[in-house]
Chains A and B, each alone.
Chain A
Amino acid sequence: MDLGKSFFVSASGLRAQATRLRVIAENIANSSSTAQSPGGEPYRRRLVSFGNILDRALGVEKVQVTNVFTDPGDFGRRLDPGHPAADQDGYVLTPNVNTLVEMSDMREAQRSYEANLKAIQAARSMLRETVQILRS
């Protein structure tokens, strides 16, 4: 693998982390999306999982989001008898999204994104140095 190909690997990492950030944003945006009618389920938190995939044309292993799955964790309950989705006892199910967890996950994704960006910058500066041999 040479410097040129490492761009593609880092770019695939950027794309995977961006997908992860998008899913986290969905979770945060839906952190209070309850059901519309009694018996319905509120929003369920979603998670991404990464995996490797071989790009045969380039001969490098790229990173990809292999699947987006839902968190099987329990829903929260809130007493709100006036809510349209409240059950007989007046409780409403709330999504299993913990904003604090999402925030820390988001920070982690951000760090990984930055690291991939740094790798691209490093490869670029090394290539530029090599090309500048020609100039002297």
Chain B
Amino acid sequence: MEGQGGILGIISKRMQWLGQRHGVVAKNIANSDTPNYIPKDLTESSFRAALRRETPRAEPLRTHQAHLLSEGSARTAKETEQSDIYEVSPSGNAVILEQELVKMNEVQAQHSLMVNLYRKHIEMMKLAIRGPR
């Protein structure tokens, strides 16, 4: 009905992003004692970047089977090293366990928000189908 651009598409994209962020946080926690490890995080995509992605790009036409398809659809958020480092241990490790746990909680809360939004939307559609009793 609404396709990938609809609210369900946005929610599932957001959930994908949250899952990826949880992976990054889990990696930071696992590396909390690795020497010279700088914690990483995902960049929150800005409106401008989102707009640029949504507007159709000029792509070369695929006239032969051997032509490769562009990988426009399979994008994942970029993983960057955290820039504001609070403290670094003598071994060169900059992970702060508390900060990572807070991040993890944040991800969890947002994930449950997304799940509930999704469910609510489906419920409303069901209501519309069923009609008034």
How many pairs of residues, A versus B, come closer than 8 Å at their CB atoms? 105
Within the assembled complex, what's the spacing in Å between the Cα atoms of A9 and B123? Answer: 36
The answer to whether A2 touches B19, judged by C-beta atoms less than 8 angstroms apart, is yes
A136 at the interface (CB under 8 A from B): yes
Given the known inter-chain contacts A49-B35, A111-B97, A136-B119, please indicate yes or no for A116 contacting B19, CB distance below 8 A: no
The answer to whether B122 touches A125, judged by C-beta atoms less than 8 angstroms apart, is no
Within the assembled complex, what's the spacing in Å between the Cα atoms of A10 and B23? Answer: 9
Q: Can you list 19 A-B pairs, Cβ within 8 angstroms, ordered by A? A: A2-B19, A3-B23, A6-B27, A9-B27, A10-B26, A13-B26, A16-B33, A50-B33, A50-B35, A51-B34, A52-B34, A60-B27, A115-B29, A119-B104, A122-B105, A126-B19, A126-B108, A133-B115, A133-B122
Other contacts beyond A1-B24, A3-B23, A133-B118: 14, CB < 8 A: A2-B23, A3-B19, A13-B30, A13-B32, A50-B31, A50-B34, A60-B23, A111-B97, A115-B32, A115-B101, A119-B22, A119-B104, A122-B105, A129-B111
What is the interface of chain B, defined by CB distance below 8 A to chain A? 15-16, 18-20, 22-27, 29-35, 37, 97, 100-101, 104-105, 107-108, 111-112, 115, 118-119, 122-123
